[in-house]
Amino acid sequence: MTDNNNKEGSHLKALPMGVFWIALLFSGYQIWMASFHPLSSQVIRAIHVGFVLLMIFTLYPPFETRRAALATFGRMLGWTLGIVGFVFGLYHWYYESDLTLRAGDLVASDWVVGVVTIALVFEAARRVMGWGLPLICGIFLAYALFGQHLPGTLAHRGFGVDQVVSALGFGTEGIYGTPTYVSSTYIFLFILFGAFLEQAGMIRLFNDFAMGTVGHTRGGPAKVSVISSGLMGTINGSGVANVVTTGQFTIPLMKRFGYSPAFAGGVEATASMGGQIMPPVMGAVAFIMAETINVPYIEIVKAALIPAILYFVTAFWMVHLEAGRKGLLGLSKEECPNPWTAVRERWYLLLPLIGLVALLFSGYTPLFSGTVGLGLTVILIFGAAVISGVNAPALRALAWALLGFACAGFYQFGVGTFFVLVALLVALTYVLRRGGDARALAVQALVDGARHALPVAIACALVGVIIGVINLTGVAAELGGHIIAIGKDSLFLALLLTMITCLVLGMGIPTIPNYIITSSLAAPVLLQLGVPLIVSHMFVFYFGIMADLTPPVALACFAAAPIARETGLKISVQAIRVAIAGFIVPFMAVYSPALMLQSGDWLDTTWIVFKALVAIGMWGAGAIGFLIGPLNWTERIVAIVSASFLVVALPLTDEIGLGAVALFVAWHVWRLRAQRAQVAH
């Protein structure tokens, strides 16, 4: 980070100047709100949505065409719509006390602001995400307005347009509901946290560490993909973002060493989607879940930990078997970097992550932990830039120690300590004429954070329509009753229906709205059928993620397609092979909640983890067609059926499953030895 100041602007990606400054202001606003919370929660949410609308309509203007006149008109219209959306967000701040006093009683200006804002949220979501989510939310909106005319039990008592506009445009259960609250606080902060770490070189640290540890083993390049994507998942809760960052390096590497383009893309998509369930920084859904079911975020982390590890063990095992089937070796030792050299050179980047984990496990809120983690990251980036010119090791150590003591002032003076320290360090980079790259990096991270937050933020705002309609009409209880009627005698049938709902919805909408819709409808049903609260929500969460891997609309796979130079559909088929156990582990958790640390003691958890590992081993062998050697179709079916006995928690099924697995493995080993002996003779 010692480049001169002339290079400061060279790293900044091209953005229209106006949008660039809006993105900086947006990130600055979010950091200030998270640090000091000077406004009410409702106002913070409204201005957050205002910024999102302003950025989306300026980044995605109407009439994007080669015809200059029409394109210019489109840009002007985009700016107009964006500014209107932003100003209407400020309306909630300026008239906050009036809106509180006349809650539900709309005046003329309220009508304009409410109707236009709802329409702009729909259109902004369509611009960023396509028609899927707006159409589903539009159906719910139409149900609220006209549902009283439906036949039978689906009909509701009828609601005036003013009630609908008031609930969706001004209440705390519409577009400014819980998802937007989470988006405007935790999610944005953690997206910024990930953006700063990525800009500072965390991707290279993770890739070098993964290459050095497993790159030389059988199928090494694919194992590098699994490990680096898993590590990236600890700081980045977005699966698609993971694909396009780590995938740029891992997919070409896998192809170079003999994996098919479809399999390489499938491995990367599978491993990257696992980032959403890998603590400590899980996907946005985890934060929404914590708020929805009113449990500390750390409880979500504890429930997710073992299944997340099993998910990555599955991916690791599958690429190991595929490498064995195709006879693929690893990289040579000379081509692999020393993993400990990578850690030694960039060890300081791990400190914010360690601090974040420590704070979360100490019981602090995600908002507090994320603020501290982000503050430490920025201080480390500028601290490294300032200290980089100090050659004497003793002086460098002293400088880091002094910086550490200065950060400790946080306990006495609060979060303002971080702002003062960053300002001093930035001033020092100018005085010492070094750190131009660090300044450019920080600015780029702020801009990237704002841009990366847009799809999540607009999805959170729009699904508020669904939540608002469900709460207004009570339709969830009605639909839940029908699901209970179908699945009341069979928990497995209810789980299967829930899984299918998640996968079907996931064809058209992202993980967040998928989780919110399905959990609103299915989680109460599962709870009535005796499934623990967190487990029922995690079940829905997992299949919302798996929907991004299942055809025909597999977002993570289509993100990998241009890098792998293969169709998204072929990648999706391979991703399902790699992630096969991801479809089974949630069922195991429902039947044995000890897998999510929700029941029993450590012996129960150890037993269920052992069963899961054996089942994963056999499913992998059956899906790939290889264990110690190649498997024929009969052996593959036997392997899968044997493993399936370990999922069903019925008397004797464990004994039958383990016995069948032991016999199968013994037979497989005997058959291979007999073949080799025959070849030798």
pLDDT at position 237, please?
Answer: 61
User: Which tops the pLDDT comparison, 157 or 13?
Assistant: 157
At 597, list the tokens. Answer: 């640390």
* Residue ranges of E strands in 633-675: none
pLDDT at position 1, please?
Answer: 36
Over the chain, what is the mean pLDDT?
Answer: 84
Does residue 614 surpass a pLDDT of 60? yes
Does residue 111 surpass a pLDDT of 90? yes
The end-to-end CA distance of the chain, in Å, is 64
Of 60-64, 150-154, 514-518, 538-542, give the range with the top mean pLDDT.
538-542
Write the pLDDT tens digit of every residue in 58-99. 999 887 666 777 878 888 999 999 999 999 999 999 999 999
Between CA 458 and CA 461 the distance in angstroms is 5
Find the mean pLDDT for residues 249-276: 85
Between CA 412 and CA 402 the distance in angstroms is 16
pLDDT at position 10, please?
Answer: 35
H-run or E-run covering 150: none
Residue with tokens 């063990």: 313
pLDDT at position 13, please?
Answer: 46
User: Which tops the pLDDT comparison, 480 or 387?
Assistant: 387
Write the pLDDT tens digit of every residue in 335-368. 788 888 888 888 888 888 888 878 877 777 778 8
Check if the beta carbon of residue 267 is closer than 8 Å to that of residue 564: no
pLDDT at position 170, please?
Answer: 92
Find the mean pLDDT for residues 649-675: 86
pLDDT at position 552, please?
Answer: 63
Between CA 525 and CA 663 the distance in angstroms is 40
At 193, list the tokens. Answer: 């946290």
User: Which tops the pLDDT comparison, 451 or 237?
Assistant: 451
Find the mean pLDDT for residues 466-478: 79
Query: What Rg, from alpha-carbon coordinates, does the chain have?
Result: 26
Write the pLDDT tens digit of every residue in 542-590. 888 887 787 766 767 877 887 888 887 888 888 888 887 778 888 888 8
Write the pLDDT tens digit of every residue in 1-38. 334 333 333 334 467 888 999 999 999 999 999 888 89
Between CA 84 and CA 113 the distance in angstroms is 9
pLDDT bucket at 507, cuts 50 / 70 / 90: low
Of 84-88, 264-268, 461-465, give the range with the top mean pLDDT.
84-88
Q: Please enumerate in sequence order all residues whose Cβ is within 8 A of that of 470, keeping only pairs 6 or more positions apart, or say none.
A: 140, 476, 520
Q: Which of 29-33, 216-220, 229-233, 618-622 has the lowest mean pLDDT?
A: 229-233
DSSP state of 102: T
pLDDT at position 680, please?
Answer: 72
Report if pTM > 0.85: no
> What secondary structure does DSSP assign to 59-78, as a single string?
HS-S---S-HHHHHHHHHHH
Percent above pLDDT 90 for the chain? 22
pLDDT at position 12, please?
Answer: 41
In terms of Cα–Cα distance, which of 188, 60, 47 is closest to 124?
Answer: 60
Check if the beta carbon of residue 446 is closer than 8 Å to that of residue 177: no
Of 49-58, 305-314, 433-442, 613-622, give the range with the top mean pLDDT.
49-58
